[in-house]
Structure 1
């Protein structure tokens, strides 16, 4: 499905097919208030910092947490008061929760057995799912003899074996090491692409969300702060959390033509022509640092800053700067050494207007 088609059907609340939910959950002083809609075939990622309410939302969809208010409909059926075991929902938990005393085959067969299949039918279905996951050779293995990636795929097969209309994935890659995560993420993307119902993924990892999901819903403090396609959110972040997530310097202010006057700060020159409240963003690698004020620079933006901290960021050095405009700047190790960067040093930061991106707030 094209991004345009996905955006179009997300704009319309589904009435019969797919997910239509307004999740309101009050627990002590915390209140979750999140609306979610998705059509069959969609993969929606709930993204947000720890404590934002992502897992609470997932547990409400599964029926493990009761709604205080709102509604939950799946393919037109009202599930608000349906017990968890009666919902057409499959769940893959962060730590998989495989039955340690059962083989991989019997773990996957457990769901179909609970739904009325005979032992032979359930095992046949389980064998088919393990084969799809490239795990046929491990059908007789107990969970303790499986690698993290294999256990994750067994858990996914177990969830899919009941043919759910809603698949919930709670940090499905969090328990894997970096190398395994790369491989399993690609496999999971392939399986989700073939899934014909709605999938909802909870993660705090932006790469998992960007790779696996068609639509992102960013939650902070129990509320949706931004939603859209991965590319739209990466290009137009609307909160500091999202900007940090996608690696951008982000500022909010008021635009007058090609200048955005930052709230409580300087103006930033941009190529966009806007009027009114606006955001302006640019990546750390768009920032050039100088120990002395540059005289012949073509950059339209120039700020005096102080180095607050330095840290390794991939194969580069990321400098945290304070001053006229707090920002992050990326530079090579050699450049950092030549500039003799150290905490407390004064530097001048320049950014070309063409490397900024302004958009309405």
Structure 2
């Protein structure tokens, strides 16, 4: 999908002009071209999700005014920002590395924005103290950034961005600099703060869990284009590209449906419970795949393929087996099951999937 019509992104054009974000971001950078449409209502949290080099950060920098548009438009609450310099935009930015001023205290870091907008020093510091208290940092007002933990620094950066009362909040990989343990805690806190934010928030991430937890709507970008967008649950259930399928942990195929049979573009047929006709996707989780050393006799599974193990890796508390052969796929099984099957790279196996565990939907 290369273009978004006026109603598919959650707002009509008229609604977007009345309030919220209405943008088509076209940026040419050498051979790379970004062309992404974004619309969001006040209170929406939108996540831009995609692989490295997809154009996510370029889109965020274009919204902030740090990268000029080659074409398209950018409107916020009905006002055009196309020619507005970055410092004059009602936009708050939380950068991946937070970029706190190392020589300023947490209090003065947050007060910096209001001061730049003409607020007196005393009033700006009072506003900053209130924001830090809301972030649970009332005991750290005087702390310099080097004295703060990663989670604390992240909350100071969010407070600094919100202290100017922006109408658009931009977050560039806001949890990437945190260790796994801190990330879990801060993700919950950030979700609460975003839920209270009354304007538009746009989040850039490559982490599907961050996107699923923090955002109301996902916009998936690949090669500078929007390939899918919608509610997190809808995208997780109906991925439309291999990248999205890998993110949400599904085997994904495309083919021609005739009744309950889908003949794949490259490979065998898959039997499904859905009765469809025409171009479709078929998806099923790796956990739905059962592996056998010998061809199973009397199996109730309608889908049976001969494969070969090409790779094994730990995946959570299970083993993920990558398989090639009649149908390339991924299978999850317990460590015990992998040992009993004697799985090693190169081992031949039979893979089965019940039709009831597949999901087919129009392409």
Instruction: Write out aligned runs for 1:99-110 (5 A).
Output: 99-110=101-112
**Aligned partner of residue 18 in structure 2, secondary structure:** coil
Residue in structure 2 matched with residue 224 of structure 1 by the alignment: 226
Do the aligned partners of 1:47 and 1:206 also contact (CA within 8 Å) in 2? yes
Residue in structure 1 matched with residue 3 of structure 2 by the alignment: none
**Aligned partner of residue 10 in structure 1, secondary structure:** coil
RMSD over equivalenced CA pairs, Å: 0.9
CA distance in 1, matches of 2:275, 2:44: 35
Residue in structure 1 matched with residue 97 of structure 2 by the alignment: 95
CA distance in 2, matches of 1:252, 1:179: 38
**Aligned partner of residue 72 in structure 1, secondary structure:** strand
Residue in structure 2 matched with residue 120 of structure 1 by the alignment: 122
Instruction: Write out aligned runs for 1:260-299 (5 A).
Output: 260-299=262-301
Q: How many residues are aligned here?
A: 355
- Out of 69, 72, 83, which is 1:70 matched to? 72
CA distance in 2, matches of 1:283, 1:246: 9
The answer to whether the aligner puts 1:255 opposite 2:257 as a matched pair is yes
Instruction: Write out aligned runs for 1:144-183 (5 A).
Output: 144-183=146-185
Residue in structure 1 matched with residue 348 of structure 2 by the alignment: 346
CA distance in 1, matches of 2:64, 2:355: 48
Residue in structure 1 matched with residue 309 of structure 2 by the alignment: 307
Residue in structure 1 matched with residue 212 of structure 2 by the alignment: 210
The answer to whether the aligner puts 1:335 opposite 2:353 as a matched pair is no
Q: TM-score, normalised by structure 2?
A: 0.97
Please state how far the C-alpha of 1:12 moved relative to its aligned partner: 1.9
CA distance in 1, matches of 2:39, 2:296: 52
Do the aligned partners of 1:288 and 1:329 also contact (CA within 8 Å) in 2? yes
The answer to whether the aligner puts 1:10 opposite 2:10 as a matched pair is yes
Please state how far the C-alpha of 1:160 moved relative to its aligned partner: 0.2
Do the aligned partners of 1:9 and 1:39 also contact (CA within 8 Å) in 2? no
Where do 4+ consecutive residues of structure 1 move more than 4 Å?
none
CA distance in 1, matches of 2:171, 2:262: 40
- Out of 52, 55, 66, which is 2:57 matched to? 55
- Out of 324, 332, 338, which is 2:326 matched to? 324
- Out of 341, 355, 358, which is 2:357 matched to? 355
Q: Mark the runs of 5 or more structure 2 residues left unpaired by the alignment.
A: 1-6
Please state how far the C-alpha of 1:96 moved relative to its aligned partner: 0.1
Q: Aligned pair in 2 of structure 1 residues 9, 287: CA closer, same or farther (>3 Å)?
A: closer
Instruction: Write out aligned runs for 1:186-201 (5 A).
Output: 186-201=188-203
Moved more, 296-305 or 35-44: 296-305
Moved more, 273-282 or 10-19: 10-19
**Aligned partner of residue 15 in structure 1, secondary structure:** helix
CA distance in 2, matches of 1:45, 1:178: 20
CA distance in 2, matches of 1:193, 1:297: 49
